Structure 1
């Protein structure tokens, strides 16, 4: 499969770093009396004769967000009402009876959508262990779509994206990469050949636990047009205020992620030495850690209820540190350990985070040594 490439830039156009793009793209022109920030455009109806026409089709506030995230990922972006609305729109385009390959450990909402579509006879979901490259490559045969996460949620498995994307394209399949955990600052799947990159912008992109929004980015004009037509028809568009908040959060992504990642790396190191922790899963980048508590589910539940700074909550990617035992959700795969706790590390002082976490770990019951 040949993939379209973005147009060449003018030779005199600056090649800004991702940190600079996050701050600068999607702003009004630098002209007298222009605001620095794109305003919130609260409009359902526009005067006829232009490009906007109606509030379900376009909004200047969406456009500003889409320009910024698109520049970071290296493609064209469409904003959606949520990450799951983005996923549903893409999966809705898969042909009846087609096969979709996806990680057995992935965002629970994605796996549940696949299970629901399979139960209705719409498609076949082929869930794979993404750490077994040979098995993944074999699973790509006769697939229409390969859906990837790297790192996976919540197992934090890292996928050889380049190898899987190449294998999927040889088999004639499109490839979607959920880049929510890594963000475009740490990983740009379109540059590795992916057809689509999706985000739950609710998480790191917006970054303040106050937005529900999703996005997809592609370099293909054809895919962009098809997805926009589907968004327009179904109405999976975000509100303008949500788009404004997400863009405001995106402006500080690089500094938030830098601090949260440094905190995560240090906490992963300290957790690895703690006797109450059986296993630490940290891929070496990003701000998500998963740990397996040695005493199992009850001890893990006790841990999540015994801190003052860490917040027991689902979701992730905010400035505050949150954690939860993932198997408390009945739809989480049984291959995820009962005692696995996913930690979303925030930007607080790392020593305060550790003191709070270590205190809760010390209070957990110790395994019996027998008599």
Structure 2
């Protein structure tokens, strides 16, 4: 349900118990696999009060109703499972590796057909929508950081009878609300910015249509891709500081992008102007990029992103990464540390590249 207060206020207050005497300020962790009969839950696979608190908070931030899943990929899989046999999915050529691999697996087994597009080419995406059942978008894309015109594409997709999904992991609901731009489904890897501390595996789906919510919940109940109670509690706890973390990390990212663009070892800087992910292409290629990622002391060489700590990795080290991603591209997930310390560490690592 939409909450018209400031997103910063919603992040702090949504999903809490009522303000009544002796109620706790935080929703407790409910460790229960089964519930007394007669209500809506009955069994631990169908719901949990701790999940519900997380779902209320995220739904309020995105302007819809949320469902929590065991991981971001579990959420992705549940959405893709709705696509009919042999139907077409339009998706970004550059996207989260797990999404691309799931699409490739489904296509290889004859379940769906896939058309991969450059989401920044709005005309091409609109043309691809015409015979699609589902249009999957990332904006910014991972790791190329391309931006999609979500509103225009969503309108074209609806006119063609297709549903639109937006992975909003990079932007977060603080910087972009896809449901307001016409998307039908929003997907999150809550492992990343929502939880924010590199200690949770969790996914989420947010929708505005109650009927679609029921269908997706039915799939979650049947498949069993449900979150752990402790993980849901940690993610909700992380969301309480989402606005502060995003504000600081985004300011750091913008400043680092500016400085990196002036360093002679960097051939290209990709930064869309918002968010806390910066991708750079090291001018001398893959080996130099590997030396860079192994030469930092403060920045951690690790995959994933969105934590309070800064991490970096060369994306083409993963065999599933598209060949259209440059060999020397390094994705930086900028954290909330002091920007001068972050820059000093990057600069010394770049300066050691022969």
State the distance in 2 between where 1:179 and 1:122 align.
25
In the alignment, structure 1 residue 150 sits paired with structure 2 residue 136: no
Kindly state the Cα deviation for residue 111 of structure 1 after the two structures are TM-superposed. Answer: 0.4
Runs of 4+ in structure 1 displaced over 3 angstroms? none
State the distance in 2 between where 1:125 and 1:85 align.
19
Query: Larger radius of gyration, structure 1 or 2?
Result: 1
Residue deviations 1:279-325 (CA, integer Å, cap 9, x gap) = 00000000000000001000000101011100000000000000000
Residue deviations 1:216-242 (CA, integer Å, cap 9, x gap) = 000001110000000000001100000
- SS class of match (1:36): coil
In the alignment, structure 1 residue 109 sits paired with structure 2 residue 84: no
- SS class of match (2:142): coil
In the alignment, structure 1 residue 36 sits paired with structure 2 residue 25: yes
Q: What does 1:112-131 correspond to in 2, within 5 Å?
A: 112-131=101-120
State the distance in 1 between where 2:78 and 2:143 align.
23
In the alignment, structure 1 residue 163 sits paired with structure 2 residue 152: yes
State the distance in 2 between where 1:27 and 1:350 align.
34
State the distance in 1 between where 2:304 and 2:148 align.
22
Partner of 2:317: 328
Kindly state the Cα deviation for residue 16 of structure 1 after the two structures are TM-superposed. Answer: 1.2
Which of 78, 82, 87 is equivalent to 1:89? 78
Partner of 1:316: 305
Which of 177, 197, 210 is equivalent to 1:208? 197
Kindly state the Cα deviation for residue 134 of structure 1 after the two structures are TM-superposed. Answer: 1.1
Which of 293, 296, 303 is equivalent to 1:307? 296
State the distance in 1 between where 2:263 and 2:274 align.
21
State the distance in 2 between where 1:129 and 1:29 align.
46
Partner of 1:232: 221
In the alignment, structure 1 residue 198 sits paired with structure 2 residue 187: yes
- Unaligned runs of at least 5 residues, structure 1: 1-5, 8-13, 366-371
Which of 30, 34, 46 is equivalent to 1:57? 46
Kindly state the Cα deviation for residue 23 of structure 1 after the two structures are TM-superposed. Answer: 0.4
- Unaligned runs of at least 5 residues, structure 2: none
Kindly state the Cα deviation for residue 163 of structure 1 after the two structures are TM-superposed. Answer: 0.7
Kindly state the Cα deviation for residue 252 of structure 1 after the two structures are TM-superposed. Answer: 0.4
- SS class of match (1:291): strand
Kindly state the Cα deviation for residue 15 of structure 1 after the two structures are TM-superposed. Answer: 3.4
Residue deviations 1:127-179 (CA, integer Å, cap 9, x gap) = 00111111111111110000000000000000011111111111110000000
Kindly state the Cα deviation for residue 351 of structure 1 after the two structures are TM-superposed. Answer: 0.1
Partner of 1:272: 261
In the alignment, structure 1 residue 290 sits paired with structure 2 residue 276: no
State the distance in 1 between where 2:202 and 2:246 align.
19
Partner of 1:362: 351
State the distance in 2 between where 1:195 and 1:51 align.
26
State the distance in 2 between where 1:31 and 1:15 align.
23
Task: Give the TM-score, by structure 1 length.
Answer: 0.95
State the distance in 1 between where 2:328 and 2:255 align.
22
State the distance in 2 between where 1:338 and 1:205 align.
30
State the distance in 1 between where 2:32 and 2:249 align.
36
Aligned residues: 354
Root mean square deviation of aligned Cα: 0.9
Task: Give the TM-score, by structure 2 length.
Answer: 0.99
